[in-house]
Amino acid sequence: MSHSQSSHRAARSRRGRSTTPPKNPYELKTLTVPRGLLPRQAAAPETSGTPATGGPPPGSRAAARRAAGATGRRRRPAERPETLRRLLPRALVVAFLAGGTTAFIAHDKAIRLSVDGDPRTLHTFADDVDDLLEAEHQDIGRHDIVAPAPGTALTSGDEVVIRHGRPVVLTLDGERRQVWTTAETVDGALRQLGVRAEGAYLSSSRSRRIGPHGLELAVRTERSVVFIADGREYRVRTNAATVREALEEAGLALRDEDTTSVPPDSFPREGQTVSVLRITGSRKVREEPVPFRTVKRSDPQLTRGTEAVVQQGRPGVRRVTYRLRTVNGVKQKPRRVATDVVRAPRPQIVHIGTKELPTSVGGADHLAWGSLAQCEAGGRPNAVDASGTYGGLYQFDVGTWHRLGGSGRPQDAPAQEQTYRAKKLYVTRGASPWPVCGRKLHQ
């Protein structure tokens, strides 16, 4: 045996006798292996020189090396169980780490994630789309789109697309509303919302990107409008905001007092027919009377039922301006546009009697006043003769009536007052004021 072989065997013998195993950072606890699980020792070769069946021929170099090895291994059977006891935990740790690495590689997935058109590739242990969204802190709202759908299982190489919804305040042909879109640009939003944009007016360019907070967008689509003006029909296609603008595009601008059958600043609708009204106008001023009002006041000096006009009313005067119009050659009804009072009216003041009137006059109460009234006026208190000079039950003239204390006209006084005044007249003049019917007083 050479010196190197002796040194190598001594070193191996010292390692075999060591009782303190080397420190293993992955070792969790000492593993005790039952004796029966250790491999059996191989039987020592015969020393008689008789070769074993199938072994190298005697005297060959291989036989010599085998004999030398057998000699060097004669002391190892006593050391092998202790060596295996130290090496087995290490082998288990290595196997555990190898299995964990295999599991690690098996669960790791390469996923392509695109968020609002920004793609990237990432490695993840997520089992499905929900796990991936949670791991990437992606909050999904009811207006957002995720493909494939949440809950779908993931395998390596899959692609997940997220489109966040953005609010768009859309004014489409004059109608304002809020909509949601996952498109990145105005053009994409119009296609997604189904808005016909050919020939339309857009308040923002089609290439403008829509930010997370959305935008306001006004769209006026191209419409067909019919104008009837000056006896002709004009059909135009326009995306104008008002009827007035569409008229200007058609070369039918409004002049002076001209207007249209719909408000000129209204929104022109698809298929709408609008008439242009050519208007010429003038003004006319004329004076008109202003009626006076009547004011009634109580007067204790007048008997009850008696009215006296103490101030005659006078109408006022006002100047009225009228607008005269001709629409498409047809005259319209004048319309009053201004009024100025030239002279204010003066009210008429009437006093109303509140004094109680006596009914008895000495020397005349016993007479047949009803018969006289029937003969003079047919018993009617408001009777007036054909000439308009005499009135009332007893046909007083106004002068006589006033001298007896009456006011106004006799036919306007109550019947009781007329009888009272007639009695006073009889006391002073007898039946002479009634030359024909006076005899009726004594029936």
How many Cβ atoms are within 10 Å of 386's Cβ, its own excluded? 6
Q: Which CATH class is domain 223-277?
A: alpha beta
Q: With pLDDT > 70 as the criterion, what percentage of the chain qualifies? A: 76
pLDDT of 67 higher than 70: no
Please tell me the predicted confidence (pLDDT) of residue 230. Answer: 87
Mean pLDDT over 188-198 rounds to 87
CATH number of 284-351: 2.20.230.10
Q: Which residue has the higher pLDDT, 389 or 355?
A: 389
Q: Which fold has domain 357-442?
A: Lysozyme (1.10.530)
Mean pLDDT over 268-295 rounds to 92
pLDDT of 374 higher than 70: yes
Residue of 405, 294, 414 whose CA lies nearest to 350:
294
Q: Are 250 and 262 in contact (CB under 8 A)?
A: no
CATH number of 166-220: 3.10.20.30
The yes-or-no answer to whether 109-163 and 284-351 have a common fold is no
Adjacent-strand bridge partners of 124 = 109
Q: Are 27 and 93 in contact (CB under 8 A)?
A: yes
Model pLDDT for residues 377-399, shown as the tens digit of each residue? 999 999 999 999 999 999 999 99
Confidence band of 89 (pLDDT split at 50, 70, 90):
low
pTM of this structure: 0.42
- CA–CA dist 96, 420 (Å, integer): 142
Rounded to 10 degrees, the C-alpha dihedral 129/135/140/144 comes to -60
Domains of the chain, by residue range, sit at 75-105, 109-163, 166-220, 223-277, 284-351, 357-442
- CA–CA dist 211, 209 (Å, integer): 6
Please tell me the predicted confidence (pLDDT) of residue 199. Answer: 86
Q: Which residue has the higher pLDDT, 237 or 65?
A: 237
Confidence band of 320 (pLDDT split at 50, 70, 90):
very high
- CA–CA dist 291, 82 (Å, integer): 138
Please tell me the predicted confidence (pLDDT) of residue 84. Answer: 58
Model pLDDT for residues 199-257, shown as the tens digit of each residue? 889 989 889 999 889 899 999 999 999 999 988 899 999 999 999 999 999 888 888 88
- CA–CA dist 382, 394 (Å, integer): 10
Q: Is 407 exposed, middle or buried (0-12, 13-18, 19+ CB in 10 A)?
A: buried
CATH architecture of the domain with residue range 109-163? Roll (3.10)
Three-state SS for 260?
strand
Three-state SS for 440?
helix
Please tell me the predicted confidence (pLDDT) of residue 65. Answer: 45
Confidence band of 80 (pLDDT split at 50, 70, 90):
low
